[in-house]
């Protein structure tokens, strides 16, 4: 049952919404702009309306598996990892993690994908909402002040890890958030280099959720 939930989360996350939307408009999203499949590149290619639609769809890709994990918890739990027993929140988060993996490594795109920010927001929002809302609030502030989505994403990734300690999310989630922060920073290495060199433009930044 647990394996089925994780597979479900992965396959939901793997649906390349941005690519599908752009293809319906006659555009190969992976060959325009940054080549990213997320909402930022969709906005660049198709406009704000479609960028927002893809953003919310990618968020839902994280929300749905995490919510399903909560609903199925009574029939799946208890699950032990060694001497540690999963909680409902952790089971929900595992389903969300699978969705993030699917978004970033989609079998429909030869195991390529986006940077996972929007799907991670949805997954954490559904499994650990206080951490998600606090981190998203910081993201909004950073983007509003400095106008860089990539900088907001980098700050939010670190904030998720920090807020998980502040709100005592638990050791398993702390470990997941630490891994997520490292993953997000690694995926944003090109953006970090442009930010550090001062060559990054807010209008042409290659970051995307």
Share of the chain above pLDDT 70, in %: 95
CB count, 10 Å around CB of 11?
16
The count of domains in the chain is 1
In a domain, 203, yes or no: no
**Averaged pLDDT, 93-114:** 95
Mean residue pLDDT of the chain comes to 91
> Which residue range is the domain that position 55 belongs to?
2-197
In a domain, 207, yes or no: no
* Strand spans (E) along the chain: 80-81, 84-85
pLDDT tier at 143, thresholds 50, 70, 90: very high
In a domain, 37, yes or no: yes
In a domain, 205, yes or no: no
pLDDT tier at 112, thresholds 50, 70, 90: very high
Please say whether the beta carbons of 36 and 115 come within 8 A. Answer: yes
In a domain, 204, yes or no: no
In a domain, 12, yes or no: yes
pLDDT at 68: 97
pLDDT tier at 203, thresholds 50, 70, 90: very low
**Averaged pLDDT, 110-115:** 93
pLDDT at 209: 59
* Both structure tokens of 59: 């968020």
């Amino acid at each position: 049952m647990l394996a089925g939930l994780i597979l479900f989360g992965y396959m939901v996350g793997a649906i390349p919404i941005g690519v599908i939307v752009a293809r319906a408009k006659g555009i190969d999203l992976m060959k325009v702009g940054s080549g990213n499949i997320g909402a930022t590149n969709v906005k660049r290619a198709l406009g704000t309306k479609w960028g927002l639609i893809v953003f919310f769809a990618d968020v839902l890709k994280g929300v749905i598996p995490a919510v399903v994990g909560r609903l199925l918890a009574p029939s799946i739990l208890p699950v032990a990892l060694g001497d540690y027993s999963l909680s409902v929140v952790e089971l929900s988060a595992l389903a969300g993690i699978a969705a993030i993996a699917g978004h970033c490594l989609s079998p429909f795109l030869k195991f390529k994908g986006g940077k996972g920010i929007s799907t991670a927001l949805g997954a954490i929002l559904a499994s650990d909402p206080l951490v998600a809302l606090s981190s998203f609030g910081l993201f909004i502030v950073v983007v509003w002040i400095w106008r860089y989505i990539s900088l907001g994403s980098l700050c939010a990734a670190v904030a998720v890890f920090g807020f998980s300690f502040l709100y005592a999310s638990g050791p398993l989630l702390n470990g997941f958030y630490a891994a997520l922060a490292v993953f997000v920073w690694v995926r944003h290495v090109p953006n970090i280099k442009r930010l550090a060199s001062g060559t990054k433009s807010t209008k042409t930044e290659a970051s995307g959720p």
